[in-house]
């Protein structure tokens, strides 16, 4: 079998590549910008060197002489070492022997310049910070719909404070168009009237990964927002200009929920404590009033009041009896007066006149004839008696001159 037909294991092929690099590429100086700097607890230093075209991962073992400066994000350095292969990870890296600084990187320079510019405009002033609503009814989230940040945010809010509604505007959080997406999302939430607070964020990364949140348009959108904005970008060590302009900075997306909404468990506990305190206070108040009432009831003054009430009650009873007697007498007097009037009326009744032998003479039109002078010979009259009546004609009239 020739070499072209030979089948290599992954490990053997990787070792061949390593040997080729070790034999064919000498120790080199590499210049670039530091990113993803990590000091492992073992003492090894891991970092990335990058420029506008590419990046390479680097390692500086703890047995190497430590650099004379702190390895920080964005610092431009020259690293001296050998390009080798990390077999287990299957990638090449720069095994760094020594490292020198050559100045601050381009992104870090841009960061500092924009920070000074916007800071001079007052965009980062503490006086601009607004308090967050204590119990937000709805929260707007602007982040990537597929990253770990959105899962951390949604889980955190749902676990701590389920009543809060969540609205997500999916945005790019890295690369071209990310700054535009985040700025538009902030403006859209302000126009919507649906939310009380806005949370923008993403997971950790290098300075270039987080750069969208350092863009001027995003920082100005955060500062111009009428709604409070919480910035939850990267890890605790990552600080962006959006963090500085926001009303509150959360060290991580996971920590944002603890800063934005109350914990329902804590709320239940506090409410229970308040209810218990109120119940105890009411019980104490009732007991105090009971003691006061009992004290007043047994006091000399209250006993005198009871005696006075009894005396007044007897006096009222006596007055009522006198009033009742007076009313009975008045009613009796009125009854006798009514009886006398009835007798007088009965005496004047026409029926009593009829009983004495009188009758009443009426004309045809029912008018009563009261005098002999009111009639003429030939008039026809109706005579009304006690038990009947008669119709008669006047033949002759006698006038009593007296």
pLDDT tens sequence across 53-81: 899 999 999 988 888 778 888 888 889 99
d(CA 353, CA 346): 10
d(CA 48, CA 54): 10
Residue (of 226, 174, 228) closest to 201 by Cα position: 174
pLDDT tops 70 at residue 348: no
Residues facing 92 on adjacent strands: 85
Question: What 3-state DSSP class applies to 284?
Answer: helix
117-137 burial, b for 16+ CB within 10 Å, e for fewer? ebeeeebbeeeeeeebbeebe
| pLDDT (0 to 100) of residue 369 | 83
CATH H superfamily, domain 3-103: Nucleic acid-binding proteins (2.40.50.140)
Give CATH for domain 109-262: 3.40.50.10550
d(CA 264, CA 162): 8
| pLDDT (0 to 100) of residue 1 | 45
Q: Looking at 56-60, 132-136, 388-392, which range is the least confident one? A: 388-392
Contact (CB, 8 A) for 347 and 355:
no
Whole-prediction pTM: 0.51
Where along the chain do the CATH 3.40.50.10550 domains lie? 109-262
266 sits in the region (left: phi over 0; alpha: psi -120 to 50; else beta) called alpha
Burial of 103 (0-12, 13-18, 19+ CB in 10 A): exposed
Top-confidence residue, 120 or 310:
120
Top-confidence residue, 300 or 141:
141
Top-confidence residue, 327 or 109:
327
161's CB contacts (< 8 A; 6+ apart) are: 135, 257, 261, 262, 263, 264
Q: Looking at 54-63, 194-203, 294-303, which range is the least confident one? A: 294-303
DSSP character at residue 124 = T
Where along the chain do the CATH 2.40.50.140 domains lie? 3-103
Residue (of 41, 47, 106) closest to 72 by Cα position: 47
Phi, psi dihedrals of residue 356, rounded to the nearest 5°: -90, 5
d(CA 296, CA 55): 91
- The strand ranges marked E within 110-164 are 138-143
């Amino acid at each position: 079998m020739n070499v072209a037909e030979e089948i290599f294991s992954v490990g053997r092929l990787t070792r061949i590549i390593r040997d080729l690099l070790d034999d064919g590429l000498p120790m080199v100086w590499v210049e670039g910008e530091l990113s993803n700097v990590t000091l492992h607890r073992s003492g090894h230093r891991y970092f990335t060197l990058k420029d506008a075209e590419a990046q390479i991962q680097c390692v500086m073992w703890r047995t190497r002489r430590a650099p004379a400066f702190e390895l920080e994000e964005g610092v431009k350095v020259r690293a001296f070492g050998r390009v080798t292969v990390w077999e287990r990870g299957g990638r090449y890296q720069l095994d760094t022997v020594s490292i020198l600084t050559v100045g601050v990187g381009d992104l870090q320079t841009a960061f500092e310049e924009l920070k000074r510019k916007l800071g001079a405009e007052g965009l980062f002033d503490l006086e601009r910070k607004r308090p967050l609503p204590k119990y937000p009814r709805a929260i707007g989230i602007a982040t990537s719909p597929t990253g770990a940040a959105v899962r951390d945010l949604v889980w955190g809010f749902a676990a701590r404070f389920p009543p809060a509604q969540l609205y997500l505007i999916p945005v790019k959080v890295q690369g071209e168009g990310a700054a535009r997406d985040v700025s538009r999302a902030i403006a859209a939430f302000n126009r919507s009237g649906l939310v009380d607070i806005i949370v923008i964020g993403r997971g950790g990364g290098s300075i270039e990964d987080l750069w969208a949140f350092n863009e001027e348009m995003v920082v100005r959108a955060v500062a111009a927002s009428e709604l409070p904005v919480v910035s939850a970008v990267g890890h605790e060590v990552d600080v962006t200009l959006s963090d500085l302009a926001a009303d509150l900075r959360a060290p991580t997306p996971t920590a944002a929920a603890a800063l934005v909404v109350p914990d329902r468990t804590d709320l239940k506990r506090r409410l229970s404590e308040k209810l218990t305190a109120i119940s105890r206070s009411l019980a104490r108040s009732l007991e105090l009033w009971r003691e006061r009432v009992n004290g007043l009831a047994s006091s000399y003054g209250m006993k005198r009041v009871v005696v006075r009430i009894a005396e007044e009650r007897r006096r009222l009873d006596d007055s009522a009896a006198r009033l009742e007697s007076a009313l009975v007498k008045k009613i009796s007097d009125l009854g006798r007066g009514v009886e006398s009037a009835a007798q007088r009326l009965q005496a004047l009744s026409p029926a009593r006149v009829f009983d004495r032998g009188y009758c009443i003479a009426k004309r045809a039109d029912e008018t009563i004839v009261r005098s002999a002078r009111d009639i003429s010979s030939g008039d026809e009259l109706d005579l009304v008696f006690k038990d009947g009546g008669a119709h008669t004609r006047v033949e002759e009239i006698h006038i009593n001159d007296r």
